[in-house]
Chains A and B, each alone.
Chain A
Amino acid sequence: MNEPFYSVKNLTKVFGGGQEQVVAVKDVSFDVTPGEIIAIVGESGSGKSTLARMLLKLSQPTAGTIMMDGEDVTKLKRPNQLKPYWRDVQGVFQNPAGSFNQFYSVRTVLEKTFNLHEHRLSKAEKLERIHKALNLVGLDPQQTLERGSHELSGGQRQRVIIARALLVDPRLLIADESTSALDASLRVTILNVLKDLSQRLNLSVLFITHDIGQAYYLADRVFVMYRGEMVEQGPTETVLQFPQHDYTKRLLADVPRLEGWTASPGDLSIEELAKALT
């Protein structure tokens, strides 16, 4: 049951060439087991979104391998070759407004996903699956199906996009900053949806975020990325209570807290902080 089904080895992405070469992701390796929630934490520019795009097969890695059930999927490129992969690995992105094509209703957006199915489903089967998926994310199908994106709130839109991914019964959901464009009170609701789905459907979630608080709330394991490299990974409690890498320590020390920034090993004075940031 808890054998890893998905593994990534030495994944690297280099943009540009020659003098202007930028290594966005460097030598990233990890495994995913069924039903676990992994948070990948990093600031903007840490390469976490580039990583997400490679894992979703929207961009081709420069080096490294992606293995699914022992099969190397790194080289697959054409949409038709990738359909089986996308039945297992799906994504949710940052901006709920941008995730919607404003010309289509919720129903149209959802139905597009059936394109991935091997067998043609009947109309009734499709509708049944859509109803099930919307119910799973806490939306009323009757109320939602015929709406356009402008008739939904940000939180509702993001739920529809999660429901869209669920239509193919994926085993791994990659959520790239999927809650950061939402207000705090709605954010918690989406996090709860993800947690609930992971438990009920034994779905693995790669939750990519800049917010270490959300990682703490949600994840079983935490990976910390810094300048393209994975500098620390381990169980959430261990990483966040006993951080090893200086960057993780600083991140934890700098998170604003209602009770004020706490004196901790990573806490820097204003001068030190200014130096660290330049």
Chain B
Amino acid sequence: MSGIPVTMDSPPPPAAKQSAQSRVRSFTRMLSTRFYVSATMVAMILFFAFLGPFFWGVGEPKQIVGGLYEAPSRELILGTDNFGRDVFTQLMHGTRSSLVIGVVAGLIATTIGVVMGLTAGYFGGVIDEMLMGITNVVITIPSIVVLILLSIAVGTKSIVTMAIIIGVTSWPWTARAVRAQSSSVRNREHVDLARLSGASTVSLMFWEVLPYMLSYIFMAFVLQLTSGILQEAALSMLGLGPSNAVSLGIMLHWSLLWESVRTGAWWAFIPPTVMLTLIAFSLFLLQSSLDEVFNPRLRGR
């Protein structure tokens, strides 16, 4: 057999070879000031919640250290609450509980949302209609009502139970967004090529479709986390929070119940409110600055 000469491709130009170092450099250059500001804020909040108690804690969170609604002083910088407990210590523990609830609820909601959305988008057809039908039903039910009913039904709750309740009611938006993405990625040709390599459907979804949505899923997680924290605060304020823990919402619940506003004990309700605002603000800022990195269209605006 005579062969036809096939032109060998010349080695590609050096520009195509990007060193790992320069890739890191161009990545860090894409991170904006917004990212550094929000990341620093999140780090400070984490430090405050998880390591703070070791430095500034005044005993256990439920330990009574003074009288009712003692004003801030040199020893107790945020004063005491309605039981004479240290507000500052409670704030650190409460922030921790709120963060834990947010992360667990976010993980649960994101996982359910991704599984539902990925499956619906990948298969399309009847499966898609069924799963999206369920999703739409869950969306239309007012979630706060479900949350209240679930909280009442469960009775005594740990912070993890609390997180589960929030997680299983807040996945639908993630499911819908992931569905749209996965139905477009599944039409890329590499998915068909992987099928021609004998890959099973589950492995196609996992290895060929899912990687394209990782950045997206991560951002959905951050949003779910934030809204999980806020939902916990809302529930706890209504008195439906975890039974044996302190959270930011529970602090607000107590201060409402013991009329701190009327008595002018601002140190009981302002700190948890400010902390909630700070957490939500820094996480939203982080999410939008990461969006810029993942989504090149938003860069340089």
Contacts and interface: CB of A to CB of B under 8 A. Distances in A.
A195 B199 CA distance: 29
Grouping DSSP codes into helix (H, G, I), strand (E, B) and loop, the A interface class, with mixed when no group exceeds half, is helix
Interface stretch (B11-19, B73-81, B90-98, B133-141): B11-19
Given A58-B195, A86-B198, A99 B189 contact: yes
A140 B8 contact: yes
A105 interface: no
Interface string A185-226: 000010011011001100000000000000000000000000
Nearest to A161: B193
Given A138-B8, A139-B9, A95 B197 contact: no
Interface residues of A, number: 44
Contacts of B196: 56, 58, 86, 90-91
Contacts of A164: 193, 197
A193 B6 contact: yes
Given A138-B9, A192-B7, A115 B198 contact: yes
A146 to B, nearest CB: 11
A5 interface: no
Nearest to A165: B196
Interface string A129-154: 00000000111100100000001110
Interface in A89-113: 90-91, 93-95, 98-103, 109, 112-113
Interface residues of B, number: 30
A153 B12 contact: yes
Contacts of B299: none
Contacts of A100: 190
Given A151-B12, A153-B12, A192-B4, A101 B198 contact: no
B27 to A, nearest CB: 14
Nearest to A149: B190
Interface of A: 53, 56, 58, 79-80, 82-83, 86, 90-91, 93-95, 98-103, 109, 112-113, 115-116, 137-140, 143, 151-153, 155-156, 159, 161, 164, 189, 192-193, 195-196, 199-200
